[in-house]
Amino acid sequence: GWARHDRRDRACYDPARAAADLRRHRLTGAMPTALDRGDFMPHFQPIYDLRSRRITGVEALARWRHGGQVLSPHDFIDLAEQSGQICRLGRSMLDQACRQAVIWREQGHRLTLSVNLSPHQLAEPDLPATVAGLLHDTGLPAAALQLEITESAAVEHHHQVINDLAGIGVQIAIDDFGTGYSNLAALSRLPVRCLKLDQQFIRQAPTAQAVTVLRHTRLLCQDLDIEVIAEGIESAGDERLLTDLGYTRGQGFRLARPAPAHTVTQLLARQAPGADP
Ligand code: C2E
Ligand code: MG
Ligand code: MG
Ligand code: MG
């Protein structure tokens, strides 16, 4: 009867899940105004030369100032992709990050700026023209910009746009390398300048399997003449393992956390001047 029906309905209703759905719905709805108002901004995480311990680059990572909090990509990148707003968000990140990189270069720091691209951005036919326009408007040299593309079907399906971007002179990096099913033959035919090895291998080290992947990825990159960056360096042990395996570039909380531009400006100012690579 009714009682049993009622009980079954209640069993299906999960308040935690409903609250999460509502939050996602509200965040998606708030996004257009937030984009208009400039509430999205990049934080920057330094990338280091592990030998000299100097900052050689920075990765722009999107943040959203929302309701007195600073939200991380985990809270909004999926929503932006599902609601078709990722291209606007991505363009805003590129624009803000390029402007900041120009400021650092004017202060004498020869940094490479890395910016993450969504597969949706790669699918936009005018992406190369948009990037070229941003470089022109901001004055950032193309060679100082690295675009990070995740290792996924996107790489397979967007050879033309990746070639066009490389044709402008920007560097292409494969992000989260080792998490997808890379077709190494396809990768080696693309104008890839850099592989960013996913954090999971350092997390799993020192298991023999993870160390094997770390060692062979480094050798693969050396043979293909591709730079390799180890992501997720959290401890002195992580750093030692990687340097022992011949890694020379790294990124992780042990070295520096993502931070607002002014914090990175202070880090850069503290570096001994000159001899920037
Ligand atoms: P990603 O591109 O792989 O960026 C690195 C992520 O790892 C960042 O998370 C960073 O804070 C985190 N991380 C860095 N070092 C460490 C470490 O030592 N330990 C741990 N546990 N984590 C570390 P974040 O900022 O939350 O970004 C997450 C992801 O969101 C990024 O992963 C990227 O895929 C995506 N994302 C961020 N900004 C953008 C953007 O502007 N556009 C697009 N399309 N995606 C973005
Ligand atoms: Mg990245
Ligand atoms: Mg990554
Ligand atoms: Mg990623």
Query: pLDDT digits over 93-144, tens only?
Result: 999 999 999 999 999 999 999 999 999 999 998 999 999 999 999 999 999 9
The residues, any chain, with a CB within 8 Å of residue 123's CB and separated by 6 or more, are: 158, 161
Closest CA to 215 of 232, 155, 205: 205
What integer pLDDT is reported at residue 276 of this predicted model?
Answer: 47
- Ligand 3 center to residue 128 CA distance, Å? 23
Crossing angle of helices 159-168/127-138, nearest 10°?
20
- Ligand 2 center to residue 262 CA distance, Å? 20
Closest CA to 49 of 265, 185, 251, 245: 251
Task: Using most ligand atoms within 8 A of CB, pick from 45, 58, 61 the residue to mutate for ligand 1.
Answer: 61
Answer yes or no: is the C-beta of 234 below 6 A from any ligand 1 atom.
yes
* Residue 134 Cα distances to 105, 113, 120, 174, angstroms: 16, 13, 18, 22
Answer yes or no: is the C-beta of 77 below 6 A from any ligand 1 atom.
yes
Pairing of strands 54-66, 69-71: antiparallel
Question: Which residues of the chain carry a pLDDT beneath 70?
Answer: 1-11, 153-154, 272-277
What integer pLDDT is reported at residue 4 of this predicted model?
Answer: 53
User: Closest ligand 1 atom to the C-alpha of 80?
Assistant: 44
- Ligand 2 center to residue 176 CA distance, Å? 7
Answer yes or no: is the C-beta of 176 below 6 A from any ligand 1 atom.
yes
DSSP helix/strand/coil, 252: coil
Minimal-distance CA residue to ligand 1 atom 37: 61
Minimal-distance CA residue to ligand 1 atom 21: 232
The residues, any chain, with a CB within 8 Å of residue 160's CB and separated by 6 or more, are: none
ipTM above 0.95, yes or no: yes
Task: Using most ligand atoms within 8 A of CB, pick from 113, 116, 203 the residue to mutate for ligand 1.
Answer: 116
| Structure tokens belonging to residue 144 | 């100082």
Ligand lying closest to the C-alpha of residue 232: 1
- Ligand 2 center to residue 48 CA distance, Å? 15
Answer yes or no: is the C-beta of 258 below 6 A from any ligand 1 atom.
yes
Answer yes or no: is the C-beta of 252 below 6 A from any ligand 1 atom.
yes
Minimal-distance CA residue to ligand 1 atom 33: 116
What integer pLDDT is reported at residue 6 of this predicted model?
Answer: 53
Minimal-distance CA residue to ligand 1 atom 8: 61
How long, in residues, is the chain? 277
